[in-house]
């Protein structure tokens, strides 16, 4: 398909840039990963991080905690990694067990080792348009848009989903590019207004986690469609957008799998390398 925006070639190009940057750093680079409890999705994400780290020559340190771990114990684990000079970056895998508050955990990571860009200081820098690290999925979406040669200035850009890790940081990044940004969420659907917002979008980005939420015929002719959603349906991985019908109307569209997904881990490694080269980690 001619209008397909695939993540893998972009990820490969960025990994080559990272290899070149890593070759100039005369010390081992260590990413510490804290993973509490059992979760199939997180396990798959960890495996993918391990694989990418190996490809780049980055040491991946996995710290496994059991699902009944107390919140203070997770914070103690993070603080020990903050203090460990051999560790350059820290990622805490999501989802955490329900009794552990992610806001407190992300706030316990020192900004210079926060590879996900989610601690308050790094989110603050993003707000002011000067981030050192950008939340990985939002960064992946921006890379895909850039690779499509899309000028966002003044474009009607609709983000569906307002989570802390995707929709909210993405809205800030899009504003930096002077896009006209509308953020839709569960409240928009409850008000019966999702379709009317989606129909206006020159650039549509969907990150919800509901297969088929966005009907293909809602997509404006010539729109750019970025589908972040990952859903398992009848043994297959699908996005949030009805792909076949949307692809007939879109000028560019990401597949699921193979769109945003392959880039997210690469963005994590880019954040790590940025922290090391800027002397933060």
The residue count for the chain: 281
Phi, psi of 165 (to 5 degrees): -85, -25
Name which of 113 and 162 has its Cβ closer to ligand NAD.
162
Q: How far is the CB of 248 from ligand NAD (least distance, A)?
A: 23
Place of tokens 């989802």: 95
Q: How far is the CB of 11 from ligand NAD (least distance, A)?
A: 11
| 258 binding ligand NAD? (CB under 6 A) | no
DSSP per residue over 64-101, as a string? EE-TT--HHHHHHHHHHHHH-TT--EEEE-SSPPTTS-
Hey, which residues between 156 and 195 contact ligand NAD (CB under 6 A)? Answer: 160-163, 165-167, 184-186, 188-189, 194
| Spatial CA neighbour of 246 closest among 235, 237, 254 | 254
b/e per residue 224-257 (b: at least 16 CB within 10 A): bbbbbbbbeeeeeebbbbbbeebbebbbbbbbbe
- Burial tier of 28 (Cβ tally within 10 Å: 0-12, 13-18, 19+): exposed
Name which of 42 and 110 has its Cβ closer to ligand NAD.
42
Q: How far is the CB of 227 from ligand NAD (least distance, A)?
A: 9
Region of 53-61, 105-113, 196-204, 205-213 interacting with ligand NAD (CB under 6 A) = 205-213
Contacts with ligand NAD by CB under 6 A: the residue count is 26
Establish how many alpha carbons lie within 13 A of residue 4's alpha carbon, considering only the half-sphere containing its beta carbon. 13
Name which of 87 and 118 has its Cβ closer to ligand NAD.
118
Q: How far is the CB of 126 from ligand NAD (least distance, A)?
A: 16
- Distances from the Cα of 164 to the Cαs of 93, 99, 228, in angstroms? 14, 19, 14
Among 92, 159, 230, 275, binds ligand NAD (CB under 6 A): 230
Q: How far is the CB of 264 from ligand NAD (least distance, A)?
A: 3
User: In whole angstroms, how large is the CA radius of gyration of the chain?
Assistant: 19
| 228 binding ligand NAD? (CB under 6 A) | yes
Name which of 189 and 280 has its Cβ closer to ligand NAD.
189
Region of 9-17, 49-57, 68-76, 226-234 interacting with ligand NAD (CB under 6 A) = 226-234
Contact residues: ligand NAD, CB under 6 A: 137, 160-163, 165-167, 184-186, 188-189, 194, 207-210, 213, 228-231, 260-261, 264
């Amino acid at each position: 398909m001619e209008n397909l925006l695939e993540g893998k070639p972009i990820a490969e190009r960025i990994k080559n840039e990272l290899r070149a940057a890593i070759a100039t750093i005369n010390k081992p680079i260590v990413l510490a990963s804290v993973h509490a409890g059992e979760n199939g999705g997180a396990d798959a994400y960890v495996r993918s991080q391990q694989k990418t780290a190996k490809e780049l020559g980055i040491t991946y340190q996995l710290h496994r905690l059991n699902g009944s771990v107390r919140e203070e114990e997770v914070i103690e684990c993070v603080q020990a990694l903050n203090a460990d000079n051999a560790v350059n970056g820290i990622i805490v895998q999501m989802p955490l067990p329900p009794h552990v508050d992610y806001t407190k955990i992300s706030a316990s990571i020192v900004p210079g080792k926060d590879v996900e860009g989610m601690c308050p200081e790094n989110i603050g820098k993003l707000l002011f348009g000067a981030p050192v690290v950008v939340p990985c999925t939002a960064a992946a979406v921006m890379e895909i848009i850039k690779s499509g040669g899309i000028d966002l200035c003044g474009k009607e850009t609709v983000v569906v989903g307002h989570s802390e890790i995707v929709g909210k940081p993405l809205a800030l990044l899009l504003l930096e590019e002077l896009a006209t940004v509308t953020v839709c969420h569960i409240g928009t659907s409850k008000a019966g207004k999702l379709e009317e917002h989606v129909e206006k979008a020159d650039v549509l980005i969907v990150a919800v986690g509901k297969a088929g939420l966005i009907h293909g015929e809602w997509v404006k002719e010539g729109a750019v469609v970025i589908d972040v959603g990952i859903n398992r349906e009848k043994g297959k991985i699908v996005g949030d957008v009805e792909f076949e019908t949307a692809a007939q109307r879109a000028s560019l569209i990401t597949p699921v799998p193979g769109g945003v997904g392959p880039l997210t881990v690469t963005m994590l490694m880019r954040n790590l390398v940025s922290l090391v080269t800027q002397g933060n980690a």
